[in-house]
Structure 1
Amino acid sequence: MNNPLARARYLLSAHNVKQLPPDGGYEVAFAGRSNAGKSSALNAMCQQNALARVSKTPGRTQQLVFFDVSPLYRGPEPAPEPDRFLVDLPGYGYAKVPQNLQAHWQAFLDRYFGTREALRGLVVVMDIRHPLKDYDRQMLGYAVQRGLPAHALLTKADKFGRGQQQQQLMMVRKELSSAFGDTVSVQTFSGESKQGVEEACAVVSRWLELVPPAA
């Protein structure tokens, strides 16, 4: 598969609303509990080993990190296409983050999800062994409230056999359907074995309009 996400490059990190890039173009945000495998998933999808920092310290990501996947501009004609970004959100659910920082991120994310016009979809990364924690549901709720599509990655699927993977997938799919209807899709994924990488890339590339829509 020709993967347009492979051209991803670091753009900037934002700690507050003023540091965000202009609200144009298209963005897909990635969220996940600390140590759910979000950085590994981003690296696998972008075919780069160190694009997103993988840390053994939970809660290491403390900014919204923007990666540029815009089509290469070969101007001056035709006019440049809209910017496209992947947005790595702070790892959440880590008890040792100070309360004032938790409050800051809550307010920042509320504003980001509530007002960001460029946002086209949300990927929520969940460890297949511990899916659908309260924070996961909260993040999915942000997308649903905005009428945005969401996609759940059940990461670290290589920790389970195929039968156990399918059992977990069916359970999560049933719970998501009950809570959110058909607005949230779900798949198994492993950054280690590359299972599900092509499927996840196709979803994100479609939201960013980097590939033609499915017939």
Structure 2
Amino acid sequence: MGQFAATRPFAHVIQDLFVTTEPPKPISYNSARFLLSAAQLSDCPPDSGREVAFAGRSNAGKSSAINCITTNGKLARTSKTPGRTRLINFFSLNRENCRLVDLPGYGYAKVSRDMKDDWQQHLSHYLTERRSLAGLVLVMDIRHPLTDFDQMMVEWCEHNNLPLMILATKADKLKFGQAKTALLGIKSALKDVQCLQHLIMFSATAKTGLEDCRNGLTQWLEG
């Protein structure tokens, strides 16, 4: 005892008994707040922590899905002009260094070919070089799934071993049996895709699949 006290003062021993490690805060998606917009990789926040990105063809319901997940109808811009969002938009969460990322839409934007090529280049840089990217949420319209863009994103995730979640959105536009059949069709088409971790029937209007989506996001963000 005397030897222990000499090397480890008794007051320090008592102090250590009462020192507790504060557990990290549970992630609250309602806490999401706009952080910044980036036109290119160099404009993005510091590449630390973990973030999950959302991608989707224009008019697939990506902004509505993000707004539903965060219970903030104005967080991600929705527009009657699909493809209007041309920047990489970052949203902070209540846990430090955890972010959601809204990637530019693709498809119907009425812009020049040079601008579209520019978007694709910066998007490619982000997806290829962003070390804090923990997973990709691919939003596709359940009525028109697996477009060329969707297939490209699935193949990219598979090639780069990036965890993938698919939200089959606008499920409320179909009868349940039709939506279920469509979901099974997507599952069958992607049966050999190893990176696909979550395939969720989703409706921002009816909140279908909301908790499953949040649980998958939390799994990725908590690492």
- Partner residue in 2 for 1:25: 49
Any unmatched runs of 5+ in structure 1? 72-80
- Between 91-100 and 51-60, report the one with greater CA deviation: 91-100
- Partner residue in 1 for 2:201: 188
In structure 1, what is the Cα distance between the partners aligned to 2:101 and 2:113?
24
One-letter identity of the residue aligned with 1:114: T
Contact 1:176–1:184 (CA<8 Å) still a contact in 2?
no
Establish whether residue 16 from structure 1 lines up as the match of residue 29 from structure 2.
Answer: no
State the shift of 1:143 in Å. Answer: 1.9
- Partner residue in 1 for 2:152: 138
State the shift of 1:185 in Å. Answer: 2.8
The equivalent position to 2:220 in structure 1, one of 202, 207, 210, is 207
State the shift of 1:181 in Å. Answer: 3.3
Contact 2:158–2:194 (CA<8 Å) still a contact in 1?
no
Establish whether residue 114 from structure 1 lines up as the match of residue 128 from structure 2.
Answer: yes
Please give the per-residue CA displacement for 1:172-198, whole angstroms capped at 9, x wherever unaligned.
Answer: 0111123x2353431110000111111
Establish whether residue 150 from structure 1 lines up as the match of residue 164 from structure 2.
Answer: yes
- Overall identity of the aligned pairs, in %: 46
Establish whether residue 96 from structure 1 lines up as the match of residue 110 from structure 2.
Answer: yes
Structure 2-normalised TM-score?
Answer: 0.85
Contact 1:153–1:188 (CA<8 Å) still a contact in 2?
yes
Q: How many residues align?
A: 198
State the shift of 1:137 in Å. Answer: 1.2
In structure 1, what is the Cα distance between the partners aligned to 2:87 and 2:28?
24
State the shift of 1:206 in Å. Answer: 1.1
In structure 1, what is the Cα distance between the partners aligned to 2:144 and 2:197?
18
Contact 1:59–1:97 (CA<8 Å) still a contact in 2?
no
Q: Residue 156 of structure 2 aligns to a residue in which SS?
A: helix
In structure 2, what is the Cα distance between the partners aligned to 1:203 and 1:144?
18
Matches within 5 A, 1:1-12: 4-12=28-36
Contact 1:177–1:184 (CA<8 Å) still a contact in 2?
no
Q: Residue 43 of structure 1 aligns to a residue in which SS?
A: helix
State the shift of 1:141 in Å. Answer: 2.1
- Partner residue in 2 for 1:163: 177
In structure 2, what is the Cα distance between the partners aligned to 1:3 and 1:26?
12
TM-align CA RMSD: 1.5
- Between 106-115 and 36-45, report the one with greater CA deviation: 106-115
Higher relative contact order (CA 8 A, sep 6+): 1
- Between 154-163 and 2-11, report the one with greater CA deviation: 2-11
Establish whether residue 39 from structure 1 lines up as the match of residue 63 from structure 2.
Answer: yes
Any unmatched runs of 5+ in structure 2? 1-25
In structure 2, what is the Cα distance between the partners aligned to 1:99 and 1:121?
29
